Amino acid sequence: MTAYVVRRVLIMIMLLLLLTFVVFVLFSLLPADVARLTCGKVCTDQTIELNRARLGLDKSIWEQYWIFLTGIFFGRTYGVGEGAIVCEAPCLGYSFTKTEPVLQLILDRLPATIFLALGAFILFLIGGIALGVYSALRRGRWQDKTVMGISLVGYSLPSFFIGLVVIYFVIIRWQILPFPQYVQPWEDPVGFLQTMILPWLVLAVLYAAFYTRLTRSQMLETLNEDYIRTARAKGLPESVVVRKHALRAGLTPIVTAAGLDFAGLLGGAIILETIFSLPGLGSLAVSAVLDPDLAILVGVTLLTAVFIIVANLIVDVLYAVIDPRVRLS
């Protein structure tokens, strides 16, 4: 088991290094002139060239990447003299639009995204798996058809549509909840729950529909296996057969999807964060596109990709826990 984890960690480190290069090069090849975008309102040719030198854009792409990479571990300085800007390690860049290091901007927005992702993840994973098992055990009956019909509707509707409908009825028309105004949970727990409950439910409906159908298909496939019939023939309780044998055997694709979906949510649910006015990474990325601010876009993109790679590592380890045969691969 230890050797298996070490191999996966080494692969993750190599992927992270490759990732930093790919993300940096892709944004460097964009047609936008970063020196012009960050020089301020009054831009002369001389100002743009001085700004280009301050940002290190007058160097080759390889030198720029090396400065960016070393800045992550050791920090970097933009410019020289009294006007120099120091970006402490780990430095993901500096936003001249917002006059703050990119990492600080991300850390300020990250809690809202984590709370949104975590709450929705718990709801849709528990709800989706439970409904999928329930539907599989009642295959062909009206309960199965009802659950599958509802999940199909939930899976088909876009998130912005459900979000706007919920806001109109729950907040505007029926006035069950106040308009969303994000606060930290340790400052105002009640206000936090009032703000987050609707985004959680909207995301849970969208993702639970997928997990319901996925769990049902895996359960139906597993319940037809010979070892399930053997377990039942031995007189094991149906709950033990379903929970310990059938569900565990079908968890592999569910774990894969759950890990990647959670990592994607940590990267920011752009549409819902915008609709519900949540100060998360998704809304930060939207503001960076509108400004525009390439430094923030690079930082958010890089962090999202890191979440996905780390989630893959966790999924690989969970594979080995669920199915010991994976450790041999």
At 106, the pLDDT band (50, 70, 90 cuts) reads very high
| Contact between residue 302 and residue 92 where contact means Cβ atoms under 8 Å apart | yes
Q: Indicate the pTM of the whole model.
A: 0.85
Query: CB-based burial of residue 209 (10 Å sphere; 0-12 exposed, 13-18 middle, 19+ buried)?
Result: buried
Q: Which domains does the chain have, with CATH numbers?
A: 2-101 (no CATH), 103-328 (1.10.3720.10)
CA distance linking residue 317 with residue 314, whole number of Å: 5
The structure tokens listed for 141 are: 């009956």
Query: For residue 121, how many other CB atoms are within 10 A of its CB?
Result: 19
Q: What is the pLDDT averaged over residues 199-209? A: 90
DSSP of 42-69: S--HHHHHHHHHHHTTTS-HHHHHHHHH
3-state class (DSSP) for residue 94:
strand
Looking from the CA of 153 toward its CB, the CA atoms found within 13 Å total 6
Measured over all CA atoms, what is the biggest interatomic distance in the chain, rounded to whole angstroms?
84
The two beta strands, 100-101 and 85-87, are unpaired
Q: What is the mean pLDDT of the chain?
A: 85
305 φ/ψ angles, rounded to the nearest 5 degrees: -65, -35
**In this predicted model, which residue has the larger pLDDT, 1 or 102?**
102
List pLDDT tens digits, range 50-75: 777 777 777 888 888 898 889 988 98
Examine the pLDDT at 286 and tell me if it is beyond 90: no
308-321: b or e for each residue (b if 16 or more CB lie within 10 Å)? bbebbbebbbbbbe
Lowest mean pLDDT among 51-60, 257-266, 269-278: 51-60
| Contact between residue 215 and residue 129 where contact means Cβ atoms under 8 Å apart | yes
At 42, the pLDDT band (50, 70, 90 cuts) reads low
CA distance linking residue 106 with residue 103, whole number of Å: 5
CA distance linking residue 30 with residue 16, whole number of Å: 22
Q: What percent of the chain shows pLDDT beyond 70?
A: 95
Q: Which one, of 158, 157, 137, lies nearest residue 147 by Cα?
A: 137
At 324, the pLDDT band (50, 70, 90 cuts) reads low
Please give the pLDDT value at position 105.
Answer: 93
The structure tokens listed for 274 are: 């915008």
